[in-house]
Amino acid sequence: MVSIDAASGDPARILSDVETRSELRTALWRFVTLALFALAVALEPDGGSHRVHLVLLLAYAATTVTAVGLAIFEAYRPWMNWVYVVVDAALVIYLAAEHMFIPGVGIGEAVSTPSLAIAFVLLAHAGLRMRAGTVAAFAAIVSIGTAAAAVAAMLSGPDAGLPSAGDLREAAVRAVAFLAVAVFQVMLAVDIRRVVVTAVASASERVNLARFFAPSTAERIAIDGLRIGLARREAAVLFVDIRGFTGLAETMPPEDLCSLLAEYRKRVVDAVGHWDGTVDKFMGDGVMAVFGSDGSHPSDAARAFECACHLVHVLDTWSEARARSGAEPMTFGIGLHFGAVVGGVVAGGAHGEHTVLGDTVNLAARLQSMCKALSARLVVSGAVVERLPPSSLGATWQLRRGVEVPGRVEPVDVAFLPAEFLH
Q: Going residue by residue through the chain (423 aa), what tens digit of pLDDT does each one get?
A: 444 454 544 556 666 666 666 777 777 777 877 787 777 667 665 555 667 777 777 887 888 888 888 878 878 777 888 888 888 888 888 878 877 877 777 676 766 656 676 777 777 777 777 788 888 998 999 899 888 988 888 888 777 777 778 888 888 888 888 889 889 888 988 887 787 777 767 766 666 666 655 555 666 666 655 455 577 889 999 999 998 787 777 888 888 889 889 999 999 999 998 998 988 888 888 999 999 877 778 889 999 999 999 999 999 999 899 888 888 788 899 999 999 998 777 766 656 667 788 999 999 999 999 998 888 999 999 999 999 988 888 778 999 999 888 888 889 999 998 876 544
Annotate 287-297 with b (16+ C-beta within 10 A) or e (fewer): bbbbbbbbebb
- pLDDT score recorded for residue 231: 79
- pLDDT score recorded for residue 2: 46
User: Looking at this protein, which amino acid is placed at residue 57?
Assistant: L
What gap in Å lies between CA 123 and CA 139, rounded to an integer?
Answer: 7
What gap in Å lies between CA 50 and CA 41, rounded to an integer?
Answer: 7
- pLDDT score recorded for residue 33: 75
Where are the chain's structural domains?
Answer: 11-210, 215-422
Nearest to 391 by CA among 269, 302, 300, 320: 302
What gap in Å lies between CA 95 and CA 98, rounded to an integer?
Answer: 5
Sorted by sequence, the CB contacts under 8 Å of residue 10 that are 6+ apart come out as: 204
In the CATH scheme, what is the homologous superfamily, with its name and number, of domain 215-422?
Nucleotide cyclase, GGDEF domain (3.30.70.1230)
